[in-house]
Amino acid sequence: MRVACLILLVGCGDNTAGEGRADPSPTAPSPKQAGGSVPSPQRSKPAPNKGDHAKPAPKGGNAQAAALPASQAGGLTWEAVEPLVGRAPRSRMRAAEYAVAGAAPDTGAEMTVYYFGPGQGGSVEANLDRWIGQFTRPDKKPSRDAAKIEKHDVGGVRVTTLDLEGTFAANMGPMMKATPKGGNPGYRVLGAIAEGPDGPVFFKLVGPKATVEMAEAAFYHLVESIKPAG
């Protein structure tokens, strides 16, 4: 579990959520939810990613470089499967970080997970507004009108998901290409906010539409796997 201090919900440099901080800023059979089920993309079930759980650093090695993403935060656990591949988080504010296997490193999507502590990170609606505000539509219509927002009950955990496409204007992570003037057209975000017993956990997958589509089934598999720790 990683815990970081809350900072202002403005001026983020990493695009990811939470969220609301400088660094911050997330099918297989769907989780149960009030009023129905999450539509599942017709894809074959991804294979388990054996490297998504945290492991101790080898003796004498670099603990920061050897650390793998956590699969637990905010009193919740989850399971990541390929093509989401766990890697060492590039910020101490990130509880976990995943690359998309097969994606070009300079243009591929990345998935980040944030947890800031009990009562930290802002409300669900504030973070949804922030994520949506990072996108503009080619037709100039409000991004909120195109955003697909759904609320689910996943094993007793309230989870809100977001799916949105458009021109992405926020900065990407350190391994991503710099945001060009006018933003990155043809991008997509899949996000999830899980309301854990110890505070909200934020999952955000963002990148070129085609790359995010590659990982869509894995993203919803992860969402379905969310459950209380212990």
Q: Mind listing the domains of the chain with CATH numbers? A: 32-52+67-228 (3.40.1000.10)
- pLDDT category of residue 105 using cuts at 50, 70 and 90: confident
Task: Tell me the pLDDT tens digit for each residue of 166-190.
Answer: 999 976 554 445 555 668 999 999 9
Q: What percent of the chain has pLDDT over 70?
A: 64
Quick one: pLDDT at residue 64? 34
Render the chain in DSSP notation, one character per residue. Answer: --------SS--SS---SSSSSS-----SPPEETTEE----S-PPPPB-TT-S--PPPTTS-HHHH----SEETTEE---BTTEEE---SSTTEEEEEEETTS-TTT--EEEEEE--TT-S--HHHHHHHHHHTEE-TT---HHHH-EEEEEEETTEEEEEEEEEEEE-S---TTSPPPPTT-EEEEEEEEEEEEETTEEEEEEEEEEHHHHHHTHHHHHHHHHH-EE--
Task: Tell me the pLDDT tens digit for each residue of 29-86.
Answer: 344 444 444 444 444 444 444 444 333 333 333 333 334 466 999 999 999 999 999 9
Quick one: pLDDT at residue 58? 33
